Each structure stands twice: as structure tokens, then as C-alpha cells.
Amino acid sequence: MSAVLAQIVQIFLVVALAPLITGWVRKVKSRLQGRIGASPLQPYRDIYRLLQKEAVVAHSASWVFRAAPYVTFSAVWLAAAVIPTFTTNLLLAPAADLIALVALLGLARFWTALAGMDVGTAFGGMGASREMMIASLAEPAMLMVSFSLSLISGTTSPTQIIAFILGGGVGIEVSMGLALAALIMVAIAENGRIPIDNPATHLELTMVHEAMVLEYSGRHLALMEGAAMVRLTLFMALIGGIFAPWGMAVPSPEMSGANVLAEMVGLAAFLAKCFVLATALAVFETMIAKMRVFRYADFLGGALLLGLLATIFLYVSEAV
Amino acid sequence: MLIAAALSALLTLAVLGVLAGDQLWRHRLVYVCCALASAALLVGGLKHLGQTPGTGPAIILPFGLPWMSAHFRLDNLSALFMVIVNVGTVAASVFGIGYCSHLPQPRRVTPFFPLFLFGMNAVLIADDAFMFLVSWEFMSLASWLLVLADHKNPENRAAAMVYLMMAAFGTFCLLTCFGLLAGAEGGYAFSAMRAAPLTPVTSFLVVLLAVLGAGSKAGLVPLHAWLPLAHPAAPSHVSALMSGVMTKVALYGLIRILFDLHGHVSWGWGAALMLVGGITAVLGVLYAILQDDLKTMLAYSTVENIGIVVIGLGLSIAFKDSGEKALAALALVAGLYHMINHSIFKTLLFLSAGAVITATGERDLGKLGGLLKRMPWTGAATLVGAAAISALPPLNGFVSEWLIFQSLFKGPSLPHWAMKFGVPVVGAMLALAAALAASCFVRAYGIAFLGRPRSRAAAAAHHLPGTMRWTMAVLAVLCIVLGTIPVTVTDALSGVIQPLTGVHFAVSADLGWPWLSPVSSTRGSYSGTVLMMTGLSLFVVSILLVHGFGTTKVRRADAWDCGHREDIPESQYTGQSFAQPMRRAFCTSLFAARETVEMPEPGDLSPARLTVRVIDPIWTYLYGGIGRLVDAVADQVNRIQFLTVRRYLLMMFATLVFMLLVVAVRQQQ
Amino acid sequence: MGAISQSSYEMAHLIGAAVLMAGFQLLYQRRLSAVLNTFAFQALALAAAAGWQAHIQNAPHLYITAGLALVFKAMIVPFALHWLVERLGIHKTVETAMSIGWTMIAGVALVGLSILLVLPVTANATALTRESLALAMSVVLLGLLMMITRHNAVTQVVGFMALENGLILAAVSAKGMPLVVEISIAFSVLVAMTLFGIFFFRIRERFDTLDLQNLDTFRGDRQ
């Protein structure tokens, strides 16, 4: 498969797969809570239903409110398009590296926060302010993880990092373990999962992400929900790809025939990794409770310091 | 030639500005001429950058110190800064055409504005220490007079006083620095200074004094205290120039001394600069989040961005001293790119603050709101500026931050252990500052432009003259353009840094034009063009998909707000409420941020009171401490005023005897 | 005693890193019961480290050290401390002298310091033992940090035992260190005596004259 074709397949794959992954997480959580729960295909039906409804927009909302769902979804979709999922042979991979990935997610968050403040309600402001506080610690933590990964592999591009690790460049490193722990904490914060935020809460004062999208309805809400689902898939691809890259197709120019088979294997590996990570997420969310808002700084500060430790530890293990 | 003509035109305009009197058209004419002169300077700078690299024309004019004439030269670094400075000044001058009618006393601003422009440009082309310092003082004093434009306000007078003291301190440091650079022979021309050798002690002192002198003008912590006082006090188009452009002139001075005149700064200073830059960045943005005044917040944000640039400069010095020339070039390009970007988006943001103040008469975030609907063009341009300063792709702020991060990620290849441990720490500080900057501007833009109006003034905001809107629109477009074609800019910058670092920096040799891959193609690459195009196509595709699968109906109704119908705009989040989580997370220990609630007894009808108390640690402990020390010493010295006649005679006698003793001892030797 | 393979060392470092992470987690907790559980986890990780070292170094006496750590420090001591806290009604919130954020930053600085110290000292040794030594020294310093930033006597004792965990980690990581078992037993007896000494003589004196109800004031998350 050529790079262009692989890129187009990936662009549509992430969007097609994202609701299934979210549906699976909800299904496992329901089972663990003793309920039968909805089918994993329910999010597809939810999004279709929302698309058919008319969008109700407040009088005080401006064009920022109406444009934000599209901008947010496009930004997250673009970020998901450049992270390798089943193959590293992507056309757009040189356009963005890990730093640009962090910034693209920041772009999505910027617009969502502004949309939350646009209607002029207290809940929107509350969600926006909490989300920006979480981001102010989660983004640096992710950048420190990128720093340690770049020191280990000599590059900031995810495709090159995966190729390096698959090539045997690094064994079991303490720094990789620390970076993995930090990245998991950041992923929980960015996706708004327990213990940072409860995606299924109905109590407004406990909301972070939900409070920003409280005023949205119809197709706007469908886009915001879709963006959250694609973001979850993105992080699973990132964690699974970098820390468990086996199965990923790294095409070499000489073997063009076997490439398609390698990509099928890569696809199966990707699906398996998402399945495992989604189940683990659901179990983790069921086991612990959401923490107080003013403990976020300790938790995410810990992630930042873990990232910093991962970088410093490389000096003693002579991987630098 | 063009530049000389433009500069003399500016001097003439300053004189003419005094004669403008009360006729508004005359003030507007002065601004138009300033815009034309700045445009001429801009064209001159661009023309020089477009030529093949080499030092440009030099002039020696027969005025100045008696034994030394005035030297002027335009080389690549000067030309680059001339472009940076004059983009800002053209924008501010055009803005001023419309804005000057809204000033309380335009007579106090118009004469000094061309003088300020002249001073800034003259610093850039000065080729000897005397002309440099004279122009520097022109710049400082003209801006001081502009800070005093609204002199009836006691806060502005206090701000002007602090500014004057810090400017005097800065000039004193620079004067001593140039004196040390000149050496024993006293050659004050820059060419002589480059050739003069430096002892280790002198070298240390030169760098220290340059950092103190230029750093105080640029706004490095802890010398930044005048910036948030003086920048907001001046009229908005002048604040734009002070924040966006004058700080860059200060950094020009720093680069000129450290990279050109001195040339061999040790890596230890690079590490120190990086650390100072990191602390400046974090503290600047934390201060900015705590502010409710729009212009003070923008001034603190300038402090943060200067910190980021200084991180790049320090990194470049460290790489250069360790022999890694390519990486030194990368870091310096990153720093210069951030200077260009900051001058553009900070000018844009200050001009929009001026627009907001003109339209509503309010500076306080607690009195604004919902301005996007009343001022759509200003709001759109400010949105671009806020997104650019938050380093969001595909705008220009992200490109320079990306370049700085790429050079930081190569930092651990330096051999010194202090750098290996220090670079990750500085990287964490930079990342923290960048993330907090995004929070700061979401807050500022969301509270001022979105939501519902919090005061009658905000609800009645009126439209602005076309020149003001067009200026902001052009600057916003520049932000987008500089973010989408980064490779063109870095190629242009590589000619500038070649004489400073000794290497020609090939940016995109491996992958071709749209891809910015500074170190190598596998190391990490970014393409603003491709991201922008792909992002736009995905945007269009999502619109098509959504409208294809769903409906396009929209209904306007009241806000849902979970069923609470709140008609009062006071129920919205205020600036302080938005900042509260960050205040509690970051400012508890250093800024002593405390919230106290005074609840009335049950049955008492008085309102509950929530008080937020924050101190400024640098002002309270450092400046306050110095002030108290000076007072204490002055009190002790004051005793001399109240001595008896006998004691005065004793003092004179003792001095006489001491001097005779000295003569006697020296005679013996 | 044959050569030890790269992956065995990497496993040992991973377990050592788990001990270090438990040390950081000790600094992070705000509730006393969570501190004691985290300490139990750290002792468990220490037992695993000792056991793994016994396996790869072919030194069976280290299994005894592992067993001691497991039984005594991961089970008996935390259980005894939980029981004492309940009995004496000691308030369950951890009082800190420095905010948790700054404590963690100080912890990272101490880890950096120990790495910086270890690098030139063991320049002749291989990188593999260097990493173990850095990890162990970090655990020791974090234990000390915990002792000096906590007001409560229970948490100070836990800090002391965490410090001791670090020493034992260093001892088991060094190849062929003699008397490790004897040192472990001696340290454990010392800890037990310290525990009894502190609780039965110091705290009893203090708490006998105070109403236990007054000690249970809830301080909140910020002081």
C-alpha cells in the first residue's frame, strides 16, 4: 500500500473505529458495575441520532460557538491522522511530530474552552477554567515525555521512534517505564477520565469537559462527542504504538508484495492493542474514585516530575 | 540614501509635532508621515536582507565626541531588526491616525512619537558606543515622556518615576560595559571593540553588565518591575511599540554585545541566561494570569516571551562555546524567529487593547464582555493574536516554540553536567510557561470578547475607524503567513546569523521547501503549510459529512445553563474566578495567594465578602528591600546636616590632615 | 558465579525503580492509612528486588533477606502500625512542613543529586551497577526527606524505615556483599525497638494528658 493510500485509510479508520472503542469501554464498565449495559455499537446510533436533531444555539452565542465543534473535531482528527496506527508509512507523518501533536490537542482545547465561555453562563466558565488548569500541567508533562523519548531514540517523530524501538535500539529501560507512567497519567487527564473527570456525571459541579459542552445540542454535540472519542483512540494508538510497537508494519522499499500482509497484521495488532487498553481503562475507572479539583495539581505535577525523572535517569543508564 | 532620509524626516516631524497644536488634522498628518518614514525604513531593511550577505554601507558623520566621529553601519543583524522594528512602527503609526482623536491630550503625544521612532531606529544602525548610547537615551527619554502623556493620573507619574530610574540604571550598566569593551586604548568604534582583547575578569564583567543593562530594558526578572507599570500607562499605540518593539531593540543590544563585540562568551553564561530566561518566562505568565487590567496583563506576557527568547539565546551561547556550531545556529534562529513573532502578535494585541479602550472606555476585565458581537473585526483579529501567542498551529507562535524545543531537545549532547541536568529543567519551565500562556489568553479573550457584557459601557461599545481595524487585520494576516511559510523565514534568518555563529544554517536541505527539518529529516520535522492545508480539508470534509448525514437546522433560544435561568450577567465567570484554580495550584507559596471569606452572622443582611490577597514577591522583597536600605542609609547620612560648628570644622581638619598624610607617604615611596 | 546478562540487570533496575516510585508515592500521600499501605508496597518491591538478586547472583542467603523484608516489613510492621493508629486514636491526616508540590520537587532534585554523585564515583564500574547504586541512594535520600518534612511521629518512623529500605536495596545490589542477612536482621530489630520506644514512651506521655477528641481536627488540604 502506498503512503497516500495508507494515509487515507488511516484517516477514515480512526473516525470509524473511535465510537466502537468508547462503546466497548462503556460496556465493560457496565458489566463491572453489575449491569448488562448498552451494546458497544450504541455510540454510532447516538451520533446518528444527534446529527438528525436541530441545533439549539443561545441568543448570546457568537460565531465562535458555532464554529468551535468543527474546529475542535478537525484538530483532533488531524492529530489522529499523523500518529501511526497500523503502519508507519504515512504521507503526512513528516508534517507533525510529538511537539506538534501536543500543540494540535492544545488547539482543540483552546476552541472548546472559548466555546464554553461564549454563552456567558457560570458553568461554561467553570469548565473552561478547570480544563485550562489541567492543561497547564498535562501539556508540560507530555512534552517532558517527548523529551525523554527523543533522547532515547534521537528523534521526535512518532514514526521514527517506533521504527527505532522495533529495530532493537532500546531494551527494558527504567526511563521508558517512567515515561509510560507519565504518559498514562497525561492521557487520563487529556481524555477527561476518572480520576480527573467523570465522563458520565450528571452533577454540574463535578464536571470539567462536560461543563464546556453543556450548551451544545444536535450536530454540534455530535461533533464534540466525536472529537472526544477520536482523542481517546489517538492516545491508545500513541501508547500502544510507542510502548508496545510489535505488529506495526514498517514497510521497507524492497518488499512491496509482503507489505500488504504486514499491514493486515499491523491492523490486527492495532485492534488488539485498543481492545486491551480499552478494557484496562474500564477496569481502572471502576476501581478508583474521582479526585477533588484541587488535587489535580498534585497528580499532574507528579506526572510532570515523572517525565523529568525519566529524562534524568537516562544519564545514569548511559542511554544518552 | 533612503534610510538617512527617513531618519531625518522623523527628526523634522518631531519638531513639527510640537507645532501641531490643537488641530486634529495636523496630528493625523504627523502620523501619516511617520507611517511613510517607517515604511521607507522597512523597505530599506528588506532590500538589504534580500541582497547577498555582506556587511552593508557604513557612514561616518562629522558630529559627536570631539575625538571621534559618529559611525553608522547597516549590517545583516541591523537590517533584520530594522524590519522587525518598522513593521511595528508602521502598524502603530497607521493605528495612531485614527486613535489620536481619542487621546485626552494629543499634543503631549505627537511630538515625542517620531522622536521615539527615531531613537529606536538609530540604535540599530549605530556603529560606535557613543551613537549607540545617545540613540538609546533618545529612545528611553522619548518613551518616558510618552508614559507621562496622561500626567494627571498619580499612578502614571509613579510609573514614569520607576521607569526613569530603571532606564538610568540600564544606561549606566551599558556605559560601563562599553567602557570595558573599549579597553585601555579607548577605541569606541565597534570595529575597534571587536579587535580589542579581554582579560577573564573584564570578560565576566562585560557580560554581566550587558545582561543587566539590556536585560533591564528587555524585562528580565528581577529587573522587569518597571515594565508592567510603564507599558500600560502610555497610550495604547505607544504601549504596543514599547512592548513589541522596544524590548526587541534591547535584545538587539544584547545580541550585538554578546555575539558580535565580545564573541566568546563561556557556556556558563549560556546556562545562567537559560535559567534566568526560564524563571522569567514562568514568573511572567503567572503574574499575567493574576491581572485584571488588560494592558498590565499584556505587559507581563511580554516579560514571559522575552524569557523564552533569552532561553534560545542562552542555549545558542552554550552550543557555540562547546563547538556545536550547527546547533548554535538553530538556537539563535529560534530566538530571532520568536522575536519576530512576538513583535507582531504583541503589537496586534496591544492595538486591540487600545481599540477596546477606545470603544468602551474600560480597561478592567471585570467590566468587559460580549465585545465580539459589537466589534466583529477587532474580535476576529484579536482571536488570531491570542491563538498566535498561545503557540497554536498553524500560526507563527508555534513555529518559533517548536524550533526552541527542538534545540532544547539537543541540549543534553553538551558535555557539561550542569547543562545535562539543567536543560531538562529549563525545558520543563518553558513547557509550563507555554501552557500557562494559553490559559492566560483563553481567559483574557473569553472574558473580554465572549459571553455577555458585564457593564453598560461594554454593551454600548461602538465601532472604530477603518484605519484601526485595517492595521489589526494586516497584523493578523502576517501571523498566519509567518506560520504557514516558516521555511522562507528561516532561510532569510540564516543569512543574518552566519557572521554571528560562523556557520550557514541549512534548514530544509533534506526534505524540500514545505518541510522545516532543522537538524535532519529523521530527527523531527514540521510543515505549517501541509498542516494548514490538511486541516482545512478535514474541516471542509467534516462540514460536508455532518450536513450530509444530518440536518442544518438551527434554532435560537435562551441558554440552557442546566435549567437555571440567570438573566444577570454577573453570574458569569469573572477574571479572578477563571484564574482561581491556577492561583491555588501555582501561586500559593511564591505569591502568598490567599482567599478569605467573611460571612455575616445569620440574620445580618450585609453581603458576604471574598477577599483575594496576592503579593508581588520581587517588588516587596527585592525592590522594597532596596528602598528600605536606601532609606536607612540616608537616615544615617542625614545626621551630617545637624552637627555643631565644631564638628564641621573637625571634619574639614581631618580631611586636610588625611590628604597631607597621603602626600607624605607617597613622597617617601 | 557466571556473568549476569543485560536483561537480568534491566529487570533488577525496573524493580529498583518500583521501590523508588513507592518512595515518591510516600511523599505524595495525605492520609495516614495510605502512607502505611504504600510502605507495605515498597517493602514488597524490596523483597522482590532481593529475591531477583538472589536468583541472578546465585546467592541463596539473599532469599532470607527477601523473606525477612516480606514477612516483617510488608506484613507485620504495617499491620502493627495500623493497629497502633487505631488504638491510640492518632489523627489520620498527614501534617506536612512543606507543601506537597515543593516536597516532590525537592525529591526530584535529590534524585538528580544522587545521579550526579554516582556518576564519577563509580566510573570504573559498569553502568549496570551504577544505576542500582543511584536508585538506592535516591531511596535513602527520599526517606530522609520524608522524615524532615513531616510533623507526625508515625510518618517520621515510616520515613526512617523507607531510608533503611534504600540501604538494603544498595546492599543486595552490590555483588557478593557479605553479612547482608545479618545486617537485615539487625536493622529490623532496631526498627522494632524504635517503634516501641517512640510509641510507648513519647506518644503515651503526650497523649495521656490531652483529650484525644481534640486531635482529630481536620486541617484541610491547604495549611
Q: Which chains touch B (3 or more CB pairs under 8 A)?
A: A, C
What chain A residue is nearest to C106 in terms of C-alpha separation? A305
Distance CA B501, CA B260 (A): 9
Q: For residue C164, name the pLDDT band (cuts at 50, 70, 90).
A: confident
Whether B588 and C99 lie within 8 Å, measured CB to CB: yes
Question: Touching check for B439 and chain A: CB below 8 Å?
Answer: yes
Is residue A253 pLDDT above 70, yes or no?
A: no
Please name every residue paired with B293 in a beta bridge, in sequence order, or none if there are none.
Answer: B364
Whether C10 and A172 lie within 8 Å, measured CB to CB: yes
In a domain, C219, yes or no: no
Cβ burial B477-492 (10 Å sphere, 16+ → b, else e):
ebbbebbbbbbebbbb
CA distance B421 to chain A (A): 7
CB contacts of C135 in chain A (<8 Å) are 174
Whether B589 and C102 lie within 8 Å, measured CB to CB: yes
Tell which residue, B243, B249, B260, B253, has the closest CA to residue B212: B253
Domain count, chain C: 1
B413 SS3 class? helix
CA distance B490 to chain A (A): 17
Q: What average pLDDT score do residues A116-127 get?
A: 91
pLDDT recorded at residue A308 = 93
pLDDT recorded at residue C219 = 44
A134 SS3 class? helix
Is residue A113 pLDDT above 50, yes or no?
A: yes
C:60-119 residues touching chain A, CB 8 A cutoff? 100-101, 104-105, 107-108, 111-112, 115, 118-119
CA C190 to centroid of chain Cα atoms: 15
CB contacts of C99 in chain B (<8 Å) are 588-589
Question: Touching check for A174 and chain C: CB below 8 Å?
Answer: yes
Tell which residue, C207, C211, C220, C122, has the closest CA to residue C170: C122
Whether B417 and C99 lie within 8 Å, measured CB to CB: no
CA dihedral B160, B166, B172, B176 (to 10 degrees): -160
CB contacts of C102 in chain B (<8 Å) are 589
**pLDDT averaged over chain A?**
90
B:450-479 residues touching chain A, CB 8 A cutoff? 450-452
**Would you say A212 and A205 are in contact if contact means Cβ atoms under 8 Å apart?**
no
CB contacts of C112 in chain B (<8 Å) are 421
B610 SS3 class? strand
C:116-145 residues touching chain B, CB 8 A cutoff? 116, 119
Whether C102 and B584 lie within 8 Å, measured CB to CB: no
Whether B421 and C222 lie within 8 Å, measured CB to CB: no
For residues C4 and A121, the model is more confident at: A121
pLDDT tens, position by position, B545-574: 999 888 888 999 888 888 887 778 888 899
Q: What is the pTM of this model?
A: 0.91
CB contacts of B447 in chain A (<8 Å) are 117
CB contacts of A94 in chain B (<8 Å) are 511, 515, 517, 521, 525, 527
What chain B residue is nearest to C105 in terms of C-alpha separation? B425
Distance CA B161, CA B184 (A): 36
A:146-185 residues touching chain B, CB 8 A cutoff? 146-147, 150-151, 154-157, 160
Q: Of A292, A302, A313, which is closest to C28 when you measure between CB atoms?
A: A302
| Phi and psi torsions of B319, nearest 5° | -65, -40
pLDDT recorded at residue C1 = 40
Distance CA C3, CA C7 (A): 12
Q: Of A95, A110, A297, which is closest to B390 when you measure between CB atoms?
A: A110
For residues A136 and B21, the model is more confident at: A136
pLDDT tens, position by position, A212-238: 999 999 999 999 999 999 999 999 999
pLDDT recorded at residue B157 = 93
Parallel/antiparallel/unpaired status of strands B58-61 and B594-598: unpaired
CB contacts of C37 in chain A (<8 Å) are none
Contacts (Cβ under 8 Å, ≥6 apart) of A129:
B443, B573, B577, B578, B579, B580, B581, B582
Q: For residue C127, name the pLDDT band (cuts at 50, 70, 90).
A: low
Distance CA B651, CA B643 (A): 10
Crossing angle, helix A3-32 and helix A63-82, to 10 degrees?
A: 110
Q: Of A11, A100, A126, which is closest to B393 when you measure between CB atoms?
A: A100
Q: For residue B265, name the pLDDT band (cuts at 50, 70, 90).
A: confident
Q: How many CB atoms lie within 10 A of CB C130?
A: 19
Q: Of C7, C105, C115, which is closest to A316 when you measure between CB atoms?
A: C115
Is residue A251 pLDDT above 80, yes or no?
A: no
pLDDT tens, position by position, A83-92: 999 888 888 8
Q: Can you give B320-370 as a three-state secondary structure string?
A: HHCCCHHHHHHHHHHHHHHHHHHHHHHHHHHHHHHHHHHHHCCCEHHHCCC
**pLDDT averaged over chain B?**
88
Q: Reply yes or no: is the peptide bond before residue A195 cis, omega within 30 of 0.
A: yes
Distance CA A242, CA C10 (A): 19
Whether C112 and B421 lie within 8 Å, measured CB to CB: yes
CA B253 to centroid of chain Cα atoms: 14
pLDDT recorded at residue C214 = 43
Domain that holds residue C15: 7-208
pLDDT tens, position by position, B164-196: 999 999 999 999 999 998 877 777 888 888 888
pLDDT recorded at residue C37 = 94
Q: What average pLDDT score do residues C71-95 get?
A: 84
Is residue B9 pLDDT above 90, yes or no?
A: no
Is residue C2 pLDDT above 60, yes or no?
A: no
Half-sphere exposure of B213 (CA within 13 A, CB side): 27
Please name every residue paired with C96 in a beta bridge, in sequence order, or none if there are none.
Answer: C150
Question: Touching check for B418 and chain A: CB below 8 Å?
Answer: no
Q: For residue C213, name the pLDDT band (cuts at 50, 70, 90).
A: very low
pLDDT recorded at residue B243 = 93
pLDDT tens, position by position, B619-660: 989 999 999 999 999 999 998 888 888 888 999 999 999 999
pLDDT tens, position by position, B122-163: 999 888 888 899 999 999 999 999 999 888 889 999 999 999
In a domain, C222, yes or no: no
Question: Touching check for A292 and chain C: CB below 8 Å?
Answer: yes
Q: For residue C8, name the pLDDT band (cuts at 50, 70, 90).
A: confident
Interface pTM, i.e. ipTM: 0.94
Q: For residue C211, name the pLDDT band (cuts at 50, 70, 90).
A: very low
Q: Which chains touch C (3 or more CB pairs under 8 A)?
A: A, B
**Using a CB cutoff of 8 Å and minimum separation of 24, what contacts does B540-548 make?**
B542/A70, B542/A73, B542/A74, B542/A77, B542/A223, B543/A70, B546/A51, B546/A70, B546/A219, B546/A222, B546/A223, B547/A219
Q: What average pLDDT score do residues A184-195 get?
A: 94
Question: Touching check for C221 and chain B: CB below 8 Å?
Answer: no
Is residue B513 pLDDT above 70, yes or no?
A: no
Share above pLDDT 90 across residues of chain A, in percent, rounded to a whole number: 66
C:139-168 residues touching chain A, CB 8 A cutoff? none
Tell which residue, C45, C19, C29, C43, has the closest CA to residue C154: C29
**Would you say B441 and A157 are in contact if contact means Cβ atoms under 8 Å apart?**
no
What chain C residue is nearest to B594 in terms of C-alpha separation? C222
Q: Ramachandran region of residue B150, left (φ > 0), alpha (ψ -120 to 50) or beta?
A: beta
For residues B24 and B142, the model is more confident at: B142
Parallel/antiparallel/unpaired status of strands A55-58 and B554-557: parallel
Q: What average pLDDT score do residues C161-182 get?
A: 82
Tell which residue, B200, B218, B176, has the closest CA to residue B269: B200
CB contacts of A63 in chain B (<8 Å) are 372
Whether C112 and B417 lie within 8 Å, measured CB to CB: no
Is residue B75 pLDDT above 90, yes or no?
A: no
Question: Touching check for A113 and chain B: CB below 8 Å?
Answer: yes
B71 SS3 class? strand
C:54-113 residues touching chain B, CB 8 A cutoff? 99, 101-102, 112
What chain B residue is nearest to A112 in terms of C-alpha separation? B442
What chain A residue is nearest to B557 in terms of C-alpha separation? A58
pLDDT recorded at residue B245 = 94
Give the helix ranges, DSSP H, for B463-527. Answer: 466-484, 486-501
CA distance A173 to chain C (A): 7
Whether A316 and C28 lie within 8 Å, measured CB to CB: no
Tell which residue, C26, C162, C22, C19, has the closest CA to residue C94: C26
Crossing angle, helix C6-28 and helix C127-148, to 10 degrees?
A: 10
In a domain, C179, yes or no: yes
Q: Which chains touch A (3 or more CB pairs under 8 A)?
A: B, C
What chain B residue is nearest to C113 in terms of C-alpha separation? B421
Q: Of C108, C131, C135, which is closest to A308 when you measure between CB atoms?
A: C108
Distance CA A150, CA B260 (A): 33
Q: For residue A16, name the pLDDT band (cuts at 50, 70, 90).
A: very high
Q: For residue C210, name the pLDDT band (cuts at 50, 70, 90).
A: very low
Burial of C71 (0-12, 13-18, 19+ CB in 10 A): middle
B:576-635 residues touching chain A, CB 8 A cutoff? 577-582, 584-586
Whether A154 and B523 lie within 8 Å, measured CB to CB: yes
CB contacts of C222 in chain B (<8 Å) are 584, 588
Distance CA A240, CA A229 (A): 16
Burial of C143 (0-12, 13-18, 19+ CB in 10 A): buried
Is residue B507 pLDDT above 70, yes or no?
A: no
Please name every residue paired with B609 in a beta bridge, in sequence order, or none if there are none.
Answer: B598
A:235-264 residues touching chain B, CB 8 A cutoff? none
Parallel/antiparallel/unpaired status of strands B594-598 and B609-613: antiparallel
